[in-house]
Amino acid sequence: MIHVGGIDVIYTKEAETADLYIEKAAHELSKKYKVTVATSDAVEQVIIYGAGAYRMSAQNLLEELLLTKGLMREHYEKRDEKKAGGILAQMSEEDARALQEHLENLEEE
């Protein structure tokens, strides 16, 4: 097993298929954790479900990843907008307006 960018890549032993490894791992891990396996193989989905794990199709995994990527982008863009706007951007609109009026009144004095 090697760790690449936050993902564990597992190489199976000689004469061990990936499906067999996934089935055994799903059975063991689902005893302690919520396990989800992404596969579009219908037979494998039945076996995984029988092992106590959740299953999703490869297409559903792709959709989840794209949705999560979009949500993360929105979050960081909003965060960056607040940083760029300084203290006023972090206040409610009402408080920001009141502070701005106060500062303008100070300048007039």
Tell whether the model's pLDDT for residue 90 goes beyond 80. no
Strands (E), the chain: 2-4, 7-9, 36-38, 54-56
The average confidence (pLDDT) of the chain is 85
Distance between CA atoms of residues 25 and 36, nearest Å: 11
Give domain limits for the chain.
Answer: 1-56, 58-109
pLDDT tens digits, one per residue of 34-61 = 999 999 999 999 999 999 999 999 999 9
Q: What's the whole-model pTM score?
A: 0.59
